Amino acid sequence: MTSPVASLRLPAPARAWWALGLLVALLFAAIGWGVHAIYQAREQRYRHQIEGGLQAVNHMQVRGVTDWRRRRLQEAAALTDDRLLAQAVARWRATAAPDAEQAVRERLRILVEHVRYTAAYFVDPQGRLILDAGGPATGTLQPPEMRALEGALARAEPGVVELRRDPAFAFPFFGLLAPLYDGTASLGAIWLVMDARTTLYPLLETWPTSSRTAESVLVERQEDTALFLSPLRHRSDEPLALRLPAEPGSRDPMVLAVAGVRGAFYGSDYRNQPVLAVASAVPDSPWLLVSKVDVADAFTAAQRREWLALSLFVSLGLLSLGCVVVLWQGRAWRRERALKAELERNLRWLDNAQKAASVGYFVYEGQSEAFIMSRMASAIFGLPSDGRMTLRQWVGMLHPDERAQTLEIHGRAMSERIPLRTQYRIQRNGDGQVRWIEVWGEYGDSAGDGEPLLMTGTVQDITDRKHTEDELARYRNALESQVRMDPLTQVANRLALDEAVARAWSQALREGSSLALLMIDVDHFKAYNDYYGHVAGDLCLQRVASALASALGRPGDLLARYGGEEFAVLLPGADADAALAVAHRLQEVLRALSLEHRANPGGFTVTASMGLAHLRPADVVSAGTETRAGVDAAQPLFQQADAALYRAKQLGRDRVVSYDAQCAATLYEAGQPAPAIMLTYDI
Ligand SMILES: Nc1nc2c(ncn2[C@@H]2O[C@H](COP(=O)(O)OP(=O)(O)OP(=O)(O)O)[C@@H](O)[C@H]2O)c(=O)[nH]1
């Protein structure tokens, strides 16, 4: 038999959990793959974005440098086209007029102060320095400037001296030579000198990002080298001092640029750092502008952004998942709370129901030899409500009258595994009260599973019910006896006599034994009533009955009031002599009573006549005269007793007559029907 506790165990999860686990693993794999793919796509996009961004910066700076050069050329061309300046120079050179010289110097001063040239000179066609903004100048042009002057004068347009260094100036400078003419005669030229540090190089430092590795460098191919025209961010070489050989296989972006590589590309710069670079040519110049940024720097920022976005995405996902779990768990919690509340309600209801019905439940654990009990069960046994009672406690409480029987019933239920239903008394330890209880239980034992012996059951206090039942039984018995008792004399009535006679007749018939019936009639009782009154008559009958009853002692003998002043005594199993002896004893008892009866013609006390019948029912049946059942079967007994009584009256009353042939004859003579069976007796 499976234990009820064992049956409460949940089934093993098995395949459902495996499937769930696999599903979750697949889900995570799909999410991981999705995240990786998103990351790859986004990284590619960011790479393009970074390359595009660097290209945009490079183009912007190229445009700035180009504008810078164009403005310088325009300014030089404007000097060549300035007729007033040319006329002032021509007049100054021809006449040495101070106002003309002043006009030329003023023009040179404006160029220095307002157009931000570092220096401006007037040079003659032979390249000698004649005048600057401060006054007369001395010296001659260096070869690069001389070549530019000759070219400018020959072409009648400004000549450019590319960025270079010279001991005359402590900075890299850019030079222009603007030729001047007086008609077709050349007057010389204005030499404009511009410091690259303050005007050109700042254009290369305009970056929209705050990257620490981003830089732009102007380079120029000079023979088989790449000459760095602008300063370097991570190296202290002066501009125009560093040049790298343009070797094939070099990965330096400057070298690659002078080798003809344009657009975005990857390389390794003068620090041997991997870089992303963009190279462009500055229009109308020999310059190349290379903008570059460390790969690590560019992509670390992008990767950081990417990881940030991804971690944000993952965090949001996890947060959502957490919310779902919390919601789900919250629902589970709410559901569990509701179930607990319902369970508590049900337990309260069960408790109340138990109280109302005085029923408790319990589980008996064979292993620990203890009862685990509900509150009500504890209360029934008068124990504290800790819900535990040992086997020894229980045995000690069993009422001594039922202890052995109760233990046997429990033992049989346990050994035969049959349901237990029993009632017994207990004497409670606490208050000493004796209570009736009813126990319903069932033993369970999964010995094969190693489960301990268990019995579950209910216990009900039925003390009140038992009392009620006892009351009812007493009441019923009282009723029963009242129905079969004569209310006046308190001896058995006619109904009780008939039932007793029927029983005795059947028993005697079965056993082949005999029985006797004595009919007793108070003599001249009408006269007693008439003389003493009816109430006194009742009292007389009561005393007669009481006296007769006191003379009968044998179990089974029965005195009954047959009717009126007539009594009957049934003597089952009595033989003829014994029956006659009883009759005489009864007569003696009456005489000893000495009840006064002045109206009795035969004396002055109450007397009675008695007719005795004695027979064996088996004889009657074998004679075939009677075939009736019950009390009717015993009619011969009554008839013979009646006949004997009649004869006793006939013979003068106050005597005992046993039935014999004379009795029948007397009846016959009196014209009354004689009993059907004429059995005689030896009296
Ligand atoms: N007081 C009283 N009288 C009763 C009761 N039952 C019957 N009797 C009276 O008993 C009398 C019986 O009278 P009878 O049948 O003529 O017999 P008897 O007067 O006894 O004469 P014998 O029997 O021939 O000696 C009647 O007068 C009844 O009224 C009773 O319960 N109480």
Judge if the beta carbon of residue 521 lies within 6 A of ligand 1.
yes
Q: Cβ contacts of residue 106 below 8 Å, gap of 6+? A: none
Ligand 1, atom 4, residue with closest C-alpha: 564
Judge if the beta carbon of residue 565 lies within 6 A of ligand 1.
yes
Chain centroid to CA 542: 83
What is the per-residue pLDDT for 632?
81
What is the per-residue pLDDT for 10?
40
Query: Count of CB atoms within 10 A of residue 364's CB?
Result: 22
Please tell me whether the overall predicted TM-score, pTM, comes out greater than 0.80 for this model. Answer: no
What is the per-residue pLDDT for 5?
34
What is the per-residue pLDDT for 342?
87
Ligand 1, atom 6, residue with closest C-alpha: 564
Nearest-atom index, ligand 1, CA of 535: 1
Nearest-atom index, ligand 1, CA of 609: 25
- Residue 394 CA to residue 370 CA, distance in Å, equals 9
567 CA to centre of ligand 1 in angstroms: 12
Nearest-atom index, ligand 1, CA of 534: 1
What is the per-residue pLDDT for 4?
35
Ligand 1, atom 7, residue with closest C-alpha: 564
What is the per-residue pLDDT for 3?
36
| DSSP string covering 364-404 | EETTTTEEEE-HHHHHHTT--TT-EEEHHHHHHHB-TTTHH
What is the per-residue pLDDT for 254?
93
Pocket test residue of 529, 535, 600, 645 for ligand 1, highest count of atoms within 8 A of CB: 529
Pocket test residue of 525, 540, 651 for ligand 1, highest count of atoms within 8 A of CB: 525
Residue 452 has which token pair? 């301990």
Judge if the beta carbon of residue 526 lies within 6 A of ligand 1.
yes
Question: Is residue 583 classed as helix, strand or coil in its secondary structure?
Answer: helix
pLDDT tens digits along 307-363: 787 788 778 878 888 888 888 888 888 888 988 888 888 777 777 776 666 788 888
What is the per-residue pLDDT for 146?
96
Give the position of tokens 């003309």: 100
495 CA to centre of ligand 1 in angstroms: 21
Nearest-atom index, ligand 1, CA of 521: 23
Pocket test residue of 490, 523, 524, 526 for ligand 1, highest count of atoms within 8 A of CB: 526
Ligand 1, atom 30, residue with closest C-alpha: 564
Burial of 345 (0-12, 13-18, 19+ CB in 10 A): exposed
Residue 294 has which token pair? 């460390």
Judge if the beta carbon of residue 654 lies within 6 A of ligand 1.
no
What is the per-residue pLDDT for 679?
47
Ligand 1, atom 27, residue with closest C-alpha: 526
Ligand 1, atom 12, residue with closest C-alpha: 526
Judge if the beta carbon of residue 531 lies within 6 A of ligand 1.
no
Judge if the beta carbon of residue 524 lies within 6 A of ligand 1.
yes
Residue ranges for the chain with pLDDT beneath 70: 1-14, 301-302, 354-357, 445-452, 623-630, 672-683
Q: Cβ contacts of residue 663 below 8 Å, gap of 6+? A: 611, 640, 643, 644, 646, 647, 657
Judge if the beta carbon of residue 649 lies within 6 A of ligand 1.
yes
What is the per-residue pLDDT for 384?
83
Which residue type is seen at 97? A
